[in-house]
Amino acid sequence: MKIFAYGIRDDEKPSLKEWEDAHPDVEVGYTEELLTPDSAKEAAGSDGVVVYQQLPYTRETLQALADQGIHQMSLRNVGIDNIDLDAAKELGFKISNVAAYSPNAIAEHAAIQLARVLRRSKELDAKVAKRDLRWAPTIGREVRMQTVGVVGTGRIGRVLIQILQGFGAKVVAYDIFKNPEIDKQGLYVDSLDELYAQSDVISYHVPSVKENIHMINKDTISKMKDGVVLVNVARGDLMDTDAVVAALDSGKVSGLVMDVYENEVGIFNEDWEGKKFPDARLDDLIDRPNVLVTPHTAFYTTKAVLEMVHQSFDAAVAFAKGEETRNAVKF
């Protein structure tokens, strides 16, 4: 059996070596190149491929794999919105993702960045760097004094709730699928409108499905408290970025945490220092003192990377053997 991986980073290689050592019966090939129609030929003779979500996997790309006799793709990440699923279905692909590599990594990142926005740490760090050690006017707010609305109470949302409760914050939550533990605590509200009306901070932890696209928009923002802080470490297309920029300009939104961006593919995980930045809107957001932008790195911990590598390769082997895998994607 042979599994071929694309886009393997240096930080993934120790985890890949560990997996290889534990599976001597599987031949592993890999490249640092991303999967494209041209690079698909490198996987010739393989039973499946392991990939990462940094490029669109178009019909052309999938066809190039199918031409090599490969109809199995295991992602080292959660999102599948970069895959032409209609083409994948037509070509008979099986696809897996890593749905739960480390909920704590993402929840911790959300909590840390939220606290930084409330304490205005970006502004304070800039002052200190200039040796301006005056206190005013960068007075902050305490997490425990906030009502935090958590939209989505899956694995990540539930870990975030625990962290926020540790700070002493009041938490309200909304999810169309109620979790029994959260329900028992009485944290659920009946509607998103109710959550918007109560929350000083709103953190989103929902998938990129049709119903959620641009759920943060002009109309929903108008229902939120003045000065609300928004946290999006889930999916970039949850947010109508132009509407959020307008709300930042007006002061309706007082702070923004974003680890994802609706046009991030081809921009994030690239070095733009000394080059023309390709997105003026994102460039503006990065410069704002009340906005914290990270390039889709909420997940990026040693534990999460190990799980992403190991689980994706496990799924690839299961596919090759014709076995079931808990990480199979239904589409």
- Residue 296 falls in the annotated catalytic set: yes
Catalytic residue of the set 76, 120, 141, 296: 296
Contacts of residue 262, defined as CB under 8 A and 6 or more positions apart, other chains included, come to 236, 237, 239, 241
Catalytic residue of the set 71, 141, 205, 264: 264
Catalytic residue of the set 141, 235, 307, 310: 235
User: Which residues are catalytically annotated?
Assistant: 235, 264, 296
